[in-house]
Structure formats: C-alpha cells, structure tokens
A and B are shown apart, each in its own frame.
Chain A
Amino acid sequence: MTRNLFALLAGSLFGLGLMLSGMTDTAKVRGFLDVLGSWDATLIFVIVGALIPMFFAWRVAEARRRALLGNDIPARPDPAITRDLAMGSTLFGIGWGLSGLCPGPAMASLSYNGWGGLVFLAAMVAGMLAAPPVKARLMAA
C-alpha cells in the first residue's frame, strides 16, 4: 500500500507540474515545434527544470542501487541505438507535431480537454495495442 500511495503522489505531482508549466496547452507545444512561425521556447524551460532534480536523483540512485521501498534501481539499458528506437521516435514525432500532445499531457488534461482529448487518448491506446506486432515485424525486417 505504501508503494501505491507514493505512486499516487508521484502521478499527482507529475500532473500538477504539467498543468502549471503550460504543457497541457497544445498551442505552446506546437509553438515550440514551429520554428517557421512564432517560436515559443517555454518547453525548453520545462525540460531544464525537470532535468535538475533528476540529475541529482540519478546520482543518488546509482550510488545506493536500491530504492527506499526495497527494489533495485532499474539497470542501465544497452546503449545501442536500435532501429526500433529511431523508427518509433520518428512516428511519435509526427503525431506529437500534428497534435501538440504526448502521453503525459494527454492524461493530465483529460478532465478539461473536451471530447477531442478523449478521442486522442482512445487512438493512443489503440496505437499502443498495435505496437507489439508492428515492432516484431520491424525488427525482423
């Protein structure tokens, strides 16, 4: 239960941070991606702000190797830049540019994003369901 309580707390903070930072406003996100239009740099400040606590958190986590609730800190993934990483990030980038939404803000804004937000989330879930077979074919090709 402690584990679930801290998960709830982390999720809540994440949602409030996204809301406060302006990242649930798709115009600001598309504005950041719109280098030919009136460019909006807010997203840079958000990423820098988020990286500061995490930079220190990783140093502590990798020195201690264990989380406070007992389980291991996730191992460093194989650093190889694989085809699925490049192809997946490309597909994600197109969808992100079209909508100004990525998974975190899509969830955080669900209550105030109208029917369109729900339509996006349903399509995102469908895309996630379709991903394992597509990924298997991609890696076999």
Chain B
Amino acid sequence: MIEQDWILGLVGGLVIGCAAALFLLVNGRIMGASGIVGGLVDGSGRATAGERGFFLAGLVGAPALVATIWRAPETHLIGDWGVLVAAGLLVGLGTRIANGCTSGHGVCGISRLSPRGIVATAVYIGVGMAAVALFRHALGVI
C-alpha cells in the first residue's frame, strides 16, 4: 500500500458513507447491496422494486460512465471460472442467510452500533482471512 492508496481509500470511503447517509435520511432505507439486489432476485422486495432498480442502475451505471469517458481501474480478477462460480454462490447464499454484507452489516450496522452488524463483520473478516490463508498459502488454489 502506497500513501496515495490510503488517501483515495479514505476519500472513497467518505463518498460511500455519504451515499448511505443520503439513502437513509432521504429515502429511509438501509444501503445494503445484498439486500437491495436480493429483494429483487427472490421477489421479497417487489413493493419497492422501482427504488431498488434505480439504485442498482446508479451503482452499475455511474462507474461504467467513468470507465468509458476516463479509464477503468484494474480489477485483478482471478481467471479460474470454477473458483469464481463457487465464490459467487457462497457470497449470494451467505449474504442472504446472514441478511447483509459489507455495506449493510459493515457500513450501516457498525455505525448504528448494532451488535449484529459488529458480530457479522468480525465473522466474515475473520473467515475471509482464514480462507485466504488456506486457499492461497496452504493449498495454492488462488
């Protein structure tokens, strides 16, 4: 990590926090990515489908616009589609079972001092670290 990385991280983080604050104070909604997508996928959020759709249009569309007119950042995505499918299934399943992900439990939950948000974040960060240790350093899969 070079110095510029943490400055961009902090500034980008502030922008993310402002997005969540706007969605909470204006729309009265929790800005949780897995909940917003998941409610559309399984139909449980049908009553608020418009709001969810517009949120996702901005989430995909605004970075797409910047990537087109300026430049796209590196993503360094792993090339193994088998691993990507397994990871995607686990992320979709896990975030819906736990009722939240990094944005919902992490950003919105911790800032509300919600015990559930704090515990969920500690668990997925701890397990994520263990997974990288296992799959990268012990097994060499990623």
> A residues touching B (Cβ–Cβ < 8 Å)?
3-28, 30-31, 33-37, 40-58, 60-61, 66-74, 76-77, 79-81, 84-104, 106-114, 116-117, 119-132, 134-135, 138
**Residues of B contacting A: mostly:** helix
**Residues of A contacting B: mostly:** helix
Interchain CB contact under 8 A, A113 and B75: yes
Q: Which residues of chain B come closer than 8 Å to A90, judged between CB atoms?
A: 94, 123-124, 127
List the B residue with the shortest CB-CB distance to A89: B123
Q: Which residues of chain B come closer than 8 Å to A76, judged between CB atoms?
A: 112, 114
Q: Which residues of chain B come closer than 8 Å to A5, judged between CB atoms?
A: 54
Tell me the smallest distance from the CB of B138 to a CB of chain A, in Å: 9
Interchain CB contact under 8 A, A45 and B6: yes
Interchain CB contact under 8 A, A123 and B92: yes
Supplied contacts A28-B5, A36-B137, A99-B87, 6 more A-B pairs, CB within 8 Å: A12-B19, A58-B112, A67-B24, A67-B25, A120-B88, A129-B92
What is the bound-complex CA distance between A48 and B107, given in angstroms? 9
Query: How many chain-B residues does the 8 Å CB contact rule pick out?
Result: 108
What is the bound-complex CA distance between A118 and B57, given in angstroms? 16
Total cross-chain contacts (CB, 8 A): 488
Encode B34-61 as 1/0 by CB contact (under 8 A) with A: 1001100110000000111111111111
Q: Which residues of chain B come closer than 8 Å to A72, judged between CB atoms?
A: 28
Interchain CB contact under 8 A, B73 and A33: no
List the B residue with the shortest CB-CB distance to A96: B128
Q: Which residues of chain B come closer than 8 Å to A129, judged between CB atoms?
A: 41-42, 92
On whether A27 and B76 interact (CB within 8 A), knowing A9-B22, A49-B13, the answer reads: yes
Give the residue of B41, B60, B111, B136 whose beta carbon is less than 8 angstroms from that of A37: B136
Encode B59-83 as 1/0 by CB contact (under 8 A) with A: 1111110111000111111110101
Within B1-49, the residues touching A (CB, 8 Å) are 1, 5-6, 8-31, 33-34, 37-38, 41-42
